[in-house]
Chains A and B, each alone.
Chain A
């Protein structure tokens, strides 16, 4: 259960980052130049996919009744965390999402 929730949280965070970078203002904020329109579309599609996967992970963790509640909570908190870190440490906000995946993979293998 713990692992499914952690996966759900990380998917939610990664998804929110992708959606955030899909907005021109924030892409510029991080990379200093505007995104091409195809990249923007790809980022948004990835973001929505990740959020859907996060929802699935929540359902796997809590079941169909409680999963949606937990899933929305995870997405909310992931978004809030991102918004708070982004203006101070934009690269760190993204690096955290990337670095989280190998950690999660290791935890899966160990567990």
Chain B
């Protein structure tokens, strides 16, 4: 056999790893793109939470009044504050759990009956775990991200006319058009593809590359964290220390001036915890909203004395090594720069999805014409790839919008309602695979895209019919536009293109 050139080898790598990992990567990128607006989707999924105009200080006071009246003896009060993106005011007692708590009506200060839902966080979690057990999922996604990096680099090398065809897109020319579309979405949005893939890997550097922490700290994550933050020992685990002696009762300091000070230092606030309320050793811990800067400030906080209101611990400045990692992670999380930046990430994410999808389609389009020569196995493989493509691209989109429909249609009182939404999501996805296997492939594309479009276009109507509340105009306009584009795709597939129709007949039969 003749020695292959480097371009041929890379081309082979790009094709096959692109196909195998492309299926996973499309799912990762689509849900990641949706996760850019996770809070906004979450608001849609919890229509019982009313919009309001309270600022965070007023909201904190409302929550504090509620906690003082209902849970005077709890050791810790936690308050999640509303912000620009989400109107939810939540309270909980005891150890702070992420995303926990019950929603309060900010106006009346009473508990709200909110439907149980998988929430916008589902897309976020699926994005980095694929809903597998967390650690396994993170490894699978990491592997796919490495494959994505390899595909990007090999794609650049094998692209013969990178600059000459920089702006080239020739529609309605079959395989040529798919290649053009794949190249254009790949090349023009290349900085984003590279950045988002690389920074995605950097987030879980400790999981993917544990050697340093194992060697230096014997795998003790807590010790590593302390060293990274340059924190003195006694500050670690604030609020978790056993009470040495019970301090006497003492009134809590007024919140508003304290929150004003915290806001001055940290920027907009996300949440606060009050440890030992009503006692002499009360502590108030305030956490900033992510996104006042690029750095991902997860875990940062400021601690006040709950009686005197004095600052006990200012937020730690990250050391350069940690700062580097956190800025890279922050670039991935896209919590900075406000809504314009969020929209940029969303549209660039859609472009990534388009690049992966066109690549997947290109694989099958290329081979539709010539798999006769490759035997029964080759034919079976390409037919299989065709089916999986339909289910991964169109089917996943259908499952995503299906989850939104399930949120409105499942009975309010259903036990484990959030779990059922996720089950509906996966059942729809499975059904699309069956459908893709049973139908002629072109019909399968058309029907699944068409149904997705219909569900998107019908979503605002569904909201009016079922709950008829909430103000979701940005989300609804976006989903109408997406629905319109998908409908156009479905319609386009239905149009007989003379050469394509001919090719289909000679090959599928």
Contacts and interface: CB of A to CB of B under 8 A. Distances in A.
Contacts of B191: 72-73, 76
A52 to B, nearest CB: 16
Max chain B Cβ within 10 angstroms of own Cβ: one of A16, A25, A66, A73: A73
B389 interface: no
A70 B188 contact: no
Contact of A80 (B168, B171, B189, B345): B189
A25 B170 CA distance: 12
A87 B344 contact: no
B286 interface: no
Contacts of B190: 76
Interface string B249-266: 000000000000000000
Main secondary structure of the interface of B (DSSP, over half): helix
Given A62-B341, A66-B294, A76-B188, A88 B348 contact: no
Max chain A Cβ within 10 angstroms of own Cβ: one of B168, B190, B293: B168
B382 interface: no
Contacts of B168: 25, 83
Contact of A1 (B188, B293, B331, B340): B340
B218 interface: no
A40 interface: no
Interface string A43-83: 00000000000000000011001100110111011011011
Contacts of A82: 167
Given A20-B167, A65-B293, A80 B188 contact: yes
B225 to A, nearest CB: 25
Given A72-B191, A76-B191, A79-B188, A2 B167 contact: no
Contacts of B195: 69
B169 interface: yes
A69 B333 CA distance: 13
A97 interface: no
B189 A76 contact: yes
A80 B331 contact: no
Contacts of B351: 76-77, 80
Interface residues of B, number: 28
B184 interface: yes
Interface residues on A, range: 20 to 34
Contacts of B188: 76, 79-80, 83
A34 to B, nearest CB: 15
A16 B166 CA distance: 10
Given A26-B167, A87-B170, A88-B171, A80 B340 contact: no
A65 B167 contact: no
Contacts of A5: 340
A69 B327 CA distance: 12
B167 A23 contact: yes
A70 B293 contact: no
A94 interface: no
A87 B365 CA distance: 22
Nearest to A5: B340
B167 A77 contact: no
A74 B171 contact: no
B347 interface: yes
B348 A66 contact: no
A79 B187 CA distance: 10
A66 B337 contact: yes
A42 interface: no
B348 A77 contact: yes
B474 to A, nearest CB: 15
A70 B341 contact: yes
A90 to B, nearest CB: 11
B192 A80 contact: no
A83 B294 contact: no
Nearest to A66: B337
A111 B344 CA distance: 23
Contacts of B348: 73, 76-77
A66 to B, nearest CB: 5
B36 to A, nearest CB: 12
Given A20-B167, A80-B188, A80-B351, A69 B293 contact: no
Given A62-B341, A69-B337, A87-B169, 11 more contacts: A1-B340, A25-B164, A69-B341, A73-B348, A76-B189, A76-B348, A77-B351, A79-B167, A79-B188, A80-B185, A87-B170
Interface of A: 1-2, 5, 16, 19-20, 23, 25-26, 61-62, 65-66, 69-70, 72-74, 76-77, 79-80, 82-84, 86-88
25 contacts: A1-B340, A5-B340, A19-B166, A25-B164, A25-B168, A26-B167, A70-B337, A70-B341, A70-B344, A73-B345, A73-B348, A74-B344, A76-B188, A76-B190, A76-B191, A76-B351, A77-B344, A79-B188, A80-B185, A80-B189, A80-B351, A83-B167, A83-B168, A83-B188, A87-B171
Shortest 6 CB-CB distances between A and B: which pairs?
A: A73-B344, A79-B188, A20-B167, A72-B191, A76-B189, A83-B184
